[in-house]
């Protein structure tokens, strides 16, 4: 019996993508059949370029409500990863930007800070938060499936590179999963599940210094708010967040009035919805 269990154990503990059965298998993303992963392109069509990817060289656009951008180098972006069980991300952070709480159902994550200073944290299944502020060159690991986040706590921009033991780690991004699913999770389920969250968030918000909120809001605004940002930053008296918020609302209303067809940038929704 013990021998039987020992024989079974390695396969029962298999916890990353399956091993490849050939040197490489460049994903044919257009294949009509579906397998666990992607079918391979015919070897005769494989080129050197299939093994190289420059997508992580480019800075991501952090002009969004989170002030962060994830550029994925997974099998969908880089088909050469197919069957190799690995992938990477580049995450760019604006000042104060957050990679919101999320988990990767299919991979453990290892990361290194390339630039800036990040608060990195994950929560165990026993609800213990492990977190630390890391600087360039320092590493972190997030065990598979656990909820984690990063926040830029440095002065300027920050960048991290992350690696996964899956060609497609997947991401469950909690704010989207919980509040933007299709169709939505029924309201009564969310209301019952998050009874005290409103108060907790309000209390947490009170503890963020006002000038941090102002900086975060200004730095996250899109380029067409440049004149607005300049007028606020040139003030002699520093502005408080509630005043900034109402000025932004007035500014947006004026834009709507004079240019009714404006971009549906996430920041507008962020401010007008609140």
Annotated binding site for oxalate: 89, 99, 104, 109
Alpha-carbon gap, residue 176 to 180, rounded angstroms: 5
Q: How many residues lie near ligand GLV (CB under 6 A)?
A: 8
Q: How far is the CB of 79 from ligand GLV (least distance, A)?
A: 20
Stretch that binds Mn ion, among 58-66, 105-113, 175-183, 196-204 (CB under 5 A): 105-113
- For residue 139, the cross-strand partners are 112
> Of residues 147-186, which lie at the interface with ligand GLV (CB under 6 A)?
148, 150, 162
The stretch among 74-82, 108-116, 212-220, 265-273 that binds Mn ion (CB under 5 A) is 108-116
**Segment near Mn ion (CB under 5 A); pick from 31-39, 107-115, 127-135, 182-190:** 107-115
Q: Do 152 and 118 touch, CB atoms closer than 8 A?
A: yes
Cα separation, 202 vs 191, in Å, equals 16
Q: Which residue is nearest to Mn ion (CB)?
A: 109
State the minimum distance, in angstroms, from the CB of residue 148 to ligand GLV.
6
Residue 39 structure tokens = 């079918």
Taking CB under 6 A as the rule, does residue 109 contact ligand GLV? yes
Q: Which is nearer to Mn ion, 20 or 143 (CB)?
A: 143
Shortest Cβ 116–Mn ion spacing (Å)? 17
The footprint of Mn ion on this chain (CB under 5 A) covers a number of residues equal to 1
Considering only residues 62 through 101, tell me which ones interact with ligand GLV, judged by CB under 6 A.
70, 89, 91, 99
Reduce the secondary structure of the chain to three states and give it as a string: CHHHHHHHHHHHCCCCCCCCCCCCCCECCCCCCCECECCECCHHHCCHHHHCCCHHHCCCCCCCCCCEEEEEECCCCCHHHCCCCCEEEEEEECCCCEEEEEECCCCCEEEEEEECEEEEEEECCCCCEEEEEEECCCEEEECCCCEEEEEECCCCCEEEEEEECCCCCCCEEHHHHHHCCCCCCCHHHHHHHCCCHHHHHHHHHHCCCHHHHHHHHHHCCCHHHHHHHHHHHCCCCCCCHHHHHHHHHHHHHHHHHHCCCCCCCHHHHHHHCC
- Which residue ranges make up the annotated binding site? 89, 99, 102, 104, 109, 148
Tell me, residue by residue from 5 to 34, as one string, x for binding to Mn ion by CB under 5 A and - for no binding.
------------------------------
Taking the complex as a whole, the smallest distance from the CB of residue 169 to ligand GLV amounts, in Å, to 7
Nearer to ligand GLV, 108 or 268 (CB): 108
Minimum CB distance to Mn ion smaller for 25 or for 68: 68
Binding residues (CB under 5 A) for Mn ion: these are 109
Binding residues (CB under 6 A) for ligand GLV: these are 70, 89, 91, 99, 109, 148, 150, 162
């Amino acid at each position: 019996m013990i021998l039987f269990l020992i024989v079974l154990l390695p396969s029962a503990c298999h916890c990353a993508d399956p091993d490849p059965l050939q040197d490489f298998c460049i994903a044919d993303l257009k294949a009509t059949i579906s397998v666990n992963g992607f079918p391979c392109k015919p070897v005769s069509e494989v080129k050197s370029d299939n093994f190289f990817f420059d997508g992580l060289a480019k800075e991501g656009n952090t002009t969004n409500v989170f002030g962060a951008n994830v550029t994925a180098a997974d099998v969908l972006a880089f088909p050469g990863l197919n069957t190799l069980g690995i992938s990477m991300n580049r995450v760019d952070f604006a000042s104060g930007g957050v990679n919101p709480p999320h988990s990767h159902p299919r991979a453990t994550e290892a990361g290194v800070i390339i630039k800036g200073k990040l608060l990195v944290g994950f929560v165990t299944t026993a609800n213990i938060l492990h977190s630390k502020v890391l600087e360039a060159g320092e590493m972190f690991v997030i065990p598979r499936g656990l909820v984690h986040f990063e926040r830029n706590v440095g002065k300027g921009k920050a960048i991290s590179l992350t690696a996964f033991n899956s060609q497609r780690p997947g991401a469950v991004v909690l704010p989207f999963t919980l509040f933007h699913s299709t169709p939505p999770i029924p309201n009564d389920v969310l209301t019952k599940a998050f009874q005290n969250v409103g108060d907790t968030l309000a209390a947490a918000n009170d503890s963020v210094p006002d000038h941090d909120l102002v900086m975060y809001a200004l730095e996250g605004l899109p380029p067409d708010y440049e004149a607005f940002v300049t007028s606020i930053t040139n003030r002699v008296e520093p502005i408080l967040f509630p005043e900034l918020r109402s000025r932004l609302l007035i500014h947006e209303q004026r834009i709507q009035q004079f240019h009714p067809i404006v971009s549906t940038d996430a920041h507008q929704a962020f401010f007008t919805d609140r």
